[in-house]
């Protein structure tokens, strides 16, 4: 899991550090954001001090109505030794007592010009992505007509060669060899390439090639949601492969079940075209068009008609 520090928020968002500079390297341990409204009343029994604290117009209005000694007391309890940061939204004026307490305790105060809901939304999305469950899989991830296809299979089966042909056909490479996957929300798997091998393909006999340099910026993308898995395996004469497409297999990655198709590999089969058609067929199924089911229904109708004629 990636580490997130207050300094990262300063670098990625339109935030201004106004106090507590000594604490910018404090680590944020959770994606949850807390608005300390009830704490402003003096109730700190369940104060989640380890979370990012966000003060909006409501909290600030109540705070400004408190007596000076109560304001000082609330801020001293808000600014603990593990509180990573306090963000104040709407470009509101910040009372001196907040700045003084933050500087004394080393809790960074960040100022945002944006509305509270917008700040919460952007910070939550950023933190959720950073703290999402993570894994890495050996394979190749390609964007085919908007469908994120993860090619898997044993080493040397032809994953990278298929990806190269797909790029030549106008599709986009996301990652080769190692695909880093993080789970966002409940059902979304987002794949990307490790920075060291981003935009690179390894082709046996040629070595490492730079896809973006050879085919242009439109041939690559940094990340893509994984919609389906295509497992390439050497043709096994003893194995019965699906010939209709009625059976839908899935593979579980972390907590998400991903549709999976197994394609046997042998000389003479154009894998890139097959993978491309599999992605298009996947899109059709999502749109409610299932060729296998239509064929099955047509076959059933013909059988029923034959029985009626008897």
* CA atoms within 13 Å, Cβ hemisphere of 44: 11
The response to whether 57 counts as a known ligand-binding position is: no
Q: Tell me which of 138, 169, 269, 298 is the catalytic residue.
A: 138
The response to whether 89 counts as a known ligand-binding position is: no
Q: Tell me which of 177, 225, 260, 283 is the catalytic residue.
A: 177
In whole angstroms, give the CA distance from residue 232 to residue 160: 11
Q: Tell me which of 74, 159, 171, 199 is the catalytic residue.
A: 159
Rounded to the nearest 5°, which phi and psi values hold at 67? -60, 160
Is residue 220 within 8 Å of 212, Cβ to Cβ? yes
In whole angstroms, give the CA distance from residue 219 to residue 242: 32
Q: Would residue 243 show up in a list of annotated catalytic residues for this protein?
A: yes
The response to whether 23 counts as a known ligand-binding position is: no
Q: Would residue 25 show up in a list of annotated catalytic residues for this protein?
A: no
- DSSP summary character for residue 5: E
Question: DSSP characters for 33-87?
Answer: EE--TGGGGT--TT--TTSEEEE-HHHHHHHHTS-HHHHHHHHHHHS-SS---EE
The response to whether 160 counts as a known ligand-binding position is: yes
The response to whether 202 counts as a known ligand-binding position is: yes
H or E segment to which residue 113 belongs: none
3-class secondary-structure state, position 225: strand
Is residue 109 within 8 Å of 98, Cβ to Cβ? yes
> Which tokens sit at 9?
């928020």
In whole angstroms, give the CA distance from residue 111 to residue 14: 9
Q: Tell me which of 3, 243, 252, 307 is the catalytic residue.
A: 243
- How far apart, in Å, are the Cα atoms of 111 and each of 129, 148, 213? 23, 38, 41
- DSSP summary character for residue 304: H
Binding site per annotation, positions for Mg(2+): 160, 202
- Residues carrying an active site annotation: 138, 159, 177, 243
Binding site per annotation, positions: 153-160, 202
């Amino acid at each position: 899991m990636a580490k997130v520090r207050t300094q990262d928020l300063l670098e990625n968002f339109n935030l201004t550090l106004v106090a507590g500079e000594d604490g910018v390297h404090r680590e944020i341990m959770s994606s949850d954001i807390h608005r300390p409204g009830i704490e402003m009343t003096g109730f700190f029994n369940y104060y989640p001090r380890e979370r990012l604290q966000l003060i909006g117009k409501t909290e600030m209005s109540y705070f400004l109505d408190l007596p000076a000694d109560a304001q000082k007391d609330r801020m001293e309890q808000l600014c603990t030794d593990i509180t990573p940061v306090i963000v104040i939204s709407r470009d509101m004026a910040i009372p001196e007592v907040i700045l003084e307490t933050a500087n004394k305790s080393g809790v960074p105060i960040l100022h945002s010009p944006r509305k509270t809901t917008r700040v919460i939304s952007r910070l939550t999305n950023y933190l959720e992505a950073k703290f999402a469950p993570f894994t890495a899989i050996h394979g190749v991830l390609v964007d085919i007509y908007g469908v994120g296809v993860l090619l898997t299979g044993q080493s040397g089966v032809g994953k990278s060669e298929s990806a190269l042909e797909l790029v030549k056909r106008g599709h986009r490479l996301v990652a080769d060899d190692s695909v880093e996957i993080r789970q966002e929300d409940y059902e979304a798997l987002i794949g990307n390439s490790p920075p060291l091998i981003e935009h690179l393909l390894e082709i046996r006999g040629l070595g490492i090639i730079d896809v973006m340099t050879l085919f242009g910026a439109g041939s690559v993308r940094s990340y893509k949601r994984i919609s389906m898995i295509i497992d390439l395996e050497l043709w096994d004469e003893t194995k019965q492969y699906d010939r209709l497409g009625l059976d839908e297999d899935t593979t579980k990655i972390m907590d998400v079940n991903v549709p999976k198709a197994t394609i046997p590999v042998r000389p003479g089969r154009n894998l890139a075209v097959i993978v491309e058609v599999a992605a298009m067929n996947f899109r059709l199924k999502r749109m409610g068009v299932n060729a296998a089911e239509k064929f099955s229904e047509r076959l059933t109708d013909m059988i029923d008609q034959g029985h009626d004629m008897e």
